Structure 1
Amino acid sequence: MDTTTDIPRYPATRPLALAHKPLLDPLFAVLQPRVSELTFANLYLFREAHAYRLTLVEDSTVVLGQGYGGEEYFLPPLGGDVAGVLRLLLERGMTLYGADEPFAARYLAGEGVVVEEDRDAFDYLHLRKELAELPGNRFHKKKNRINYFIVRHSFSVAVYGATHREGCLALLGEWRRVRGGIDSPSLELETKAAAEALLLTDRLGLEGVVVLVEGRVAAFALGERLNRDTAVCHFEKADPFMEGVSQLVDREFNRLLFADCTYTNREQDLGEPGLRAAKLSYHPVELVKKFRARRA
């Protein structure tokens, strides 16, 4: 049952739109989020996948969404009386998603609230400098794969720009085609979001790098600043038949972009075993825990 109509002072629910960027950006700047979902670009690019809508509850802006299975949730309230608004929404049977540990400790420690970790949604947090330099024996396999690529291909690396758009879209299409037999509810949605990100990088404040092999895009990565000391990589796609290029584009993203950031957030694994193993192989310094909360 959709309980959102019971929210007090619920004047309107509006689908998330580009016009909301000037509203949300200052709120995220105050929040300084650690959770990868909490940027305007990420919410906008996955607005259809998660049916993101905005509403005003008391004096807080609230983002409403849906999981891949259709379950309703709301993200941590932005601005205003967070504790009060959170209490109102939970009392009306709604589920909170995307709370990190500091938020949970501050607002969800009271009696009568069930708080659950969502391991499949934990973000992988890395030292940016380690990803840029791959130091020591821990990253030996990554360096070997990059070297394998380097000795076999004539390539160049560039900061993403409009001249790379068509090549990146072609690579994205091939990446999707190769995964045609994979049963994943997020595959089509991620492909659509990545394509739109390539088209709207300037308007969304995204930055990226591309690897070119003989003038053709062999890999790209796009991301943005998440908070004062952390960048987030939202999309990383590579030619699935070119060994070593995915490791190279990851290194170059961290080497060329957001050099003043201490950390890089590489997002979640969605519970996919192969993706989890790949992300863990980069030796995160922390798994940023995310929690769901509801009234008992």
Structure 2
Amino acid sequence: MTAGIEFKPVLMEDRELFAELFGKYPPEHSDYMHSIMITWAGYMMYSYGWMGDHLLIMTECCGERNLRPPVGEFELEAMERALELSKEMGCMHPFAMVGERTASWLRSEMPQLELESHRDLFDYVYLSRDLSELSGKRYLKVRNQLNRFRRENEYAVEEIDGGNIEDVRDFLKRWCIQRGCHDDPFLMHERGATMKALDNLAELGLSGLAIRIDGSVKAFTIFEEMRSDMAVIHFEKADQDIPGLYQAINQETASRLAHRYEFINREADMGLEGLRRAKMRYRPHSFMEVYHVKGW
């Protein structure tokens, strides 16, 4: 019991609860996805509790506790009570990870609150057809890299299933050795999150693709539906010694998603300059922006 609300860890069996909730109130950022809360639990602890008809999500990471705005209908009383709870619990921010729709409501109904954007956590959103077709001058460099890969390699694209998932796990282990994961705490957390996703694909409602070259898996991606018009890519790994392979797994994934989803969310860059350049190179259509409420 925390400040009168019973919070409990987000568990695998809570998937239907979150699916039903976000079916009514679509997630404003990928970090609200149930699969993220499960796979990244080794890095950040996610818990939830009910405040009447509103769901509260609390996170704890690196010695900081934060509360997110209540999920449900926008109601001034619910927002004010949640802010009081946040202060009672000693949260770092009055509210953290505030999506744009919620931020717009807060600006209108609670103008006394000061919102601070958090660029490092903005989700990158692309038009699926852009990533699939790579048309026009703006994608010339990407097309050249992809064409080189296709000239130099014979490859097969496979859906990740019980028949090849062990090969995907083995590749992830090799990728981590290649990237020096053991010397980078965040990469080790990402490795753990990716392994958990692979171990629980069906249970988490995830799908994946792998690229096999000369009999070995050399790249893979894991994704799911975020809302009816958007898929989200959670993990994407490729052998960095094979030119154009990252471009290939990106395009092959987009080509399979474009017929069903108008948009593809490729999540945030976490403030990593190399990752930011790579994501910007694909010309995002928009961002799913997030804010913190400043205080206390």
**Contact 1:59/1:81 (<8 A) preserved:** no
Q: TM-score, normalised by structure 1?
A: 0.91
CA distance in 2, matches of 1:180, 1:84: 49
**Contact 1:210/1:219 (<8 A) preserved:** yes
Q: Which range moved further: 52-61 or 22-31?
A: 52-61
Which letter maps to 1:165? I
Which residues in structure 2 correspond to 1:75-94 (within 5 Å)?
A: 75-79=68-72, 82-92=75-85, 93=87, 94=91
CA distance in 2, matches of 1:258, 1:277: 23
- Give how far 1:245 is off: 0.9
**Contact 2:220/2:249 (<8 A) preserved:** yes
Alignment partner of 1:38 is 2:32: yes
1:211 alignment partner in structure 2: 211
Alignment partner of 1:271 is 2:271: yes
Residues 250-271 of structure 1 show CA distances to partners (whole Å, capped at 9, x for unaligned) of: 1111111362211101000000
Corresponding pairs, count: 289
Alignment partner of 1:192 is 2:192: yes
| Candidates 7, 10, 15, aligned match of 1:21 | 15
**Contact 2:181/2:187 (<8 A) preserved:** no
- Give how far 1:81 is off: 6.1
1:243 alignment partner in structure 2: 243
Label 1:40 to 1:150 Cα distance change in 2 as closer, same or farther (>3 A): same
2:149 alignment partner in structure 1: 149
Q: Which range moved further: 85-94 or 258-267?
A: 85-94
CA RMSD of aligned residues (A): 1.9
CA distance in 2, matches of 1:82, 1:132: 41
> What is the DSSP-based 3-state SS (H/G/I as helix, E as strand, rest coil) of the residue aligned with 1:186?
helix
Residues 170-199 of structure 1 show CA distances to partners (whole Å, capped at 9, x for unaligned) of: 111122122227865421111111111111
**Contact 1:60/1:81 (<8 A) preserved:** no
Residues 72-110 of structure 1 show CA distances to partners (whole Å, capped at 9, x for unaligned) of: 112332236654333222234243222222210113442
**Contact 1:124/1:268 (<8 A) preserved:** yes
CA distance in 1, matches of 2:260, 2:194: 25
CA distance in 1, matches of 2:181, 2:164: 28
| Candidates 41, 48, 52, aligned match of 1:47 | 41
Alignment partner of 1:65 is 2:64: no
Alignment partner of 1:225 is 2:225: yes
Alignment partner of 1:288 is 2:288: yes
**Contact 1:131/1:251 (<8 A) preserved:** yes
Which letter maps to 1:261? Y
- Give how far 1:56 is off: 1.7
- Give how far 1:51 is off: 0.7
Q: Which runs of 5+ in 2 are unaligned?
A: none
CA distance in 2, matches of 1:291, 1:273: 20
Q: TM-score, normalised by structure 2?
A: 0.91
Which residues in structure 2 correspond to 1:128-139 (within 5 Å)?
A: 128-139=128-139
Q: Which runs of 5+ in 1 are unaligned?
A: none
Which letter maps to 2:16? P
CA distance in 1, matches of 2:72, 2:180: 42
**Contact 1:176/1:191 (<8 A) preserved:** yes
1:98 alignment partner in structure 2: 97
Label 1:111 to 1:136 Cα distance change in 2 as closer, same or farther (>3 A): closer
2:180 alignment partner in structure 1: 180
> What is the DSSP-based 3-state SS (H/G/I as helix, E as strand, rest coil) of the residue aligned with 1:37?
helix
**Contact 1:60/1:82 (<8 A) preserved:** no
Quick one: percent identity of the two aligned structures? 28
